[in-house]
Chain A
Amino acid sequence: MTMNPWITHLMKRLFPPQVLLPDIIGIDIGLTVAAIAAIVFLTKTKRWGWLWREWITTVDHKKIGIMYLLAALVMLFRGGVDALMIRTQLIAPHQHFMSAQQYDEVFTTHGTVMIFFMAMPMVFALFNVAVPLMIGARDVAFPRLNAISFWLFAFGAILLNISFSIGGSPDAGWMSYPPYSELMFNPGVGENYFLLSLQVAGIGTIATGINFLVTVLRLRAPGMTLTRIPIFAWSALITSSLILFAFPPLTVALGLTMLDRIFGASFFTLGHQGMPMMYANLFWIFGHPEVYILIMPAFGVFSEVVPTFSKKPLFGYEAMVVSLLAISILSYGTWVHHFFEMGAGPGVNSFFGLSTMLIAIPTGVKMFNWIFTMWGGRIRVSVPMLWQLGFIPTFVVGGATGVMLAAVPADYQYHNSYFLIAHFHNVILGGTVFGVLSGMYYWWPKMFGWKLNERQGVWAFVFFVVGFWLTFMPQYFLGFQGMTRRMSTYPPGLGWTALNFWSTIGAYVMGVGFLIMVYNIIWSRIHPDWDTTGDPWDGRTMEWSLPSPAPEYNFARIPHVHSRDEWWEMKQEGRTDEVKISEETVHAIHMPRNTPMPVLLALAFFVGSIGMVFEWFWLAILGGLGVVAALTYGSFADYSEKEISRDTILHTEAQLGRVES
């Protein structure tokens, strides 16, 4: 039997040896079966039309938020499995659960997925769900752009995730420092996947930044001045401005690496006078603000959750805003602390060490302000509050070790060791992840109309937090023993075994916590605890004045705002009937119409990216033409609104009991 050589070549390209491992083939089969099952299910229940109309073409910020959330949870699963594989490999010396090559791929995708495809979309989910409702808006400023952002993220995520079964995964770490990420050391398509998927998702992220910047600045309800918006809206505003300035350097760094790899340029190569150090600078000029892009929304969530569950206004609102602004500005002046050891000299190192320490001041102010918000309150320990209560003692350790890392000569001993690994997991998990999970439990009823079971939520929390401490506290000590990050295994006799063992056990405990959370979601979906009031937590801000879930147009009548915590004041003064409408006050509402353009645009980007990954330029050009076509269609033919009539609104609101008789 002879095969066409062209086909043989293609098969070798698509399925090189590293994607033919038994476990990967097993996952491929599992995914195929799952996909077929989903297709059969959708066809049998005749849901294709529903899927297309209600979700794929939607421009409604609430639905986009839900899609972000679900995608982020799936990615949390994927990144979490990667983490468990890493920890399983390290449970004992000389383990060969995975080959070194596969280990490198797994820690690379773990980092990339967790930062770009789990934490970022989780943050955007909460922005989408909460911000427009909080500030009294009917949607974000650019609803179609919002959908474009989501679909670019989604196809970016798909692009990275198919790499392990088609063509091979990236293996140069989530930072992908050259020259290791260059062709000389890294042939194959893995790094191309990394570059293209982040590039595609990054366009979406920048668009989201623009969107929420304009939304918060321009779409606030009358009376909702900037000093009255909830801190979460402030955090969205400031995060968006960070995105706007932080992502372009990443775009440049990825773009130049792509030119090196695909077109033979030598910006960062080992030979030809390449300057790999330049990549490190560009990457961290993006990368440091990026970690604040991740943490500030968590700060915002806690600034909503603490007052609500303490029955008290936020302590020091102005200080909270000023400290957010201070952190955002300082975050641009700290990037060199990621490489004090690259020989910048004592002057530069001192400057960046100091600027890093300065960030601890506004962060410390925030910690104290949350505690003072609880002081003199009445603390209800519901699940969202529980995550906040777990956050304070955890994050303070991460913040404190951050200050230790900023002490330059001490950092010479911590850098790239497990001390560093423990530190950044301590702040990203203990800060961002605890924050977005708190926000998820908090706004879940507003998204879906039913609450998540409390008891199961508590168990998920307990397992997750106990697992977290067990996983990462030993890693600080591993750092002092000289264990460095990214070692695919280690020899016995260095004293690393016991601590690694406990760290792995902790990771599994955290995994159980995640499974309980999934169970919690599924169980609560089957046995829904309906939120009929729209205000399940006795909330303070405007989103709780709406029914759960909010109708398509959010506010039948845009509210007039007189104070911070407007909804709380209304409840105190017995003015809650003000949110009801009557036949005289209701007007028709114009809303943007659903459109397939965003998903088609993202699909074109996806096709073009596949072309670039495999260097099939005809396909890249085809994808590029698709992008142009989608943009042209979007600009000239896809500009329409629909009107929601008075009668429809009256009918909807009457069913919700919100029409004055």
Chain B
Amino acid sequence: MSTRQTQRIDARPPSSGLVIETRGVTKRFGSHVAVDDVDLHVAEGARYGFLGPNGSGKTTMVRMLLGLVYATRGEITVLGATVPHRVADVLPEIGAMVEGPAAYPHLSGRTNLALLDASGPRRGRDGQRRRGRVEEVLERVGLAAVDRRPVRTYSLGMRQRLGLAGALLNRPRLLVLDEPTNGLDPHGIREVRDLLIELNAAGTTVFLSSHLLAEIEALCTTVGVVDRGRLVLEDALDAVRGPTGRLVVRTPDPDGAARLLGRAVAERHDHTLVVDAAPGGPSALARHLVEHGVPLDGLAEQRRSLEDVVVALTGPGSDTARDRRDRA
């Protein structure tokens, strides 16, 4: 496996180190612009979070990356191949989940995977290995114990796992996942996150779209924020969540601290104060407080939360009535 992967990389080195690159991609459905002039840059080995409210064009973008929907304008390159013309060449190296899982409801999960596997391009002709592959991915997503029940009887969480198993069948270099944790319980979400981190550590690039901030924040290294079809932010998560230049002070004596610091206090909630950073940084402030008899419970740099950034950058989801009125 590893040798084959190496060969593939040798055969088609992504010139820019980018696994997904789009330039000016626009998609119109009639007069509605679903995706508007989007430039994506997903680096090899990244865990990229594609974040946006519902109806902001995430799924359309994902479909365009996979050659399901054709862009009205713009260029898309995935794993070095232009999409949609050459997308079939690289799809075998991509695992995808688009807008929820889907399976033949009257067949079992195992049969569904076997059929999906057999539909793909032939890689060696040993059915034995195919069966092995199916068992392996079922194991990975926690469905190994699944019996011959038809998918129709599965819970939403099981279907989601089955969809993920289908995406892993190829042992992909690139995973494109649209809302992969929909319908999973907290335990399942954690499992999927751990699985994705594990796969990523083994070299798989993960492109994940979600409207859930927490999910992106917990998993991704890079974030792209889309709003009403436009990409409004694309940056490393650490850079996005940079320091605000303020310190958060926790103390049992907030009154004393407030008196001591005076105007530097920007916000105050119970025992917590947000303080404009003074020269000397946290350590200087700590010394200052302690020397003047104000006890400290905690002191930390304040960082922007992804949520603050996103809310500042984006409007309400385009499926809200308010937004529709705004546009009209």
Bound pair (A, B): no
Interface residues of A (CB under 8 A from B): none
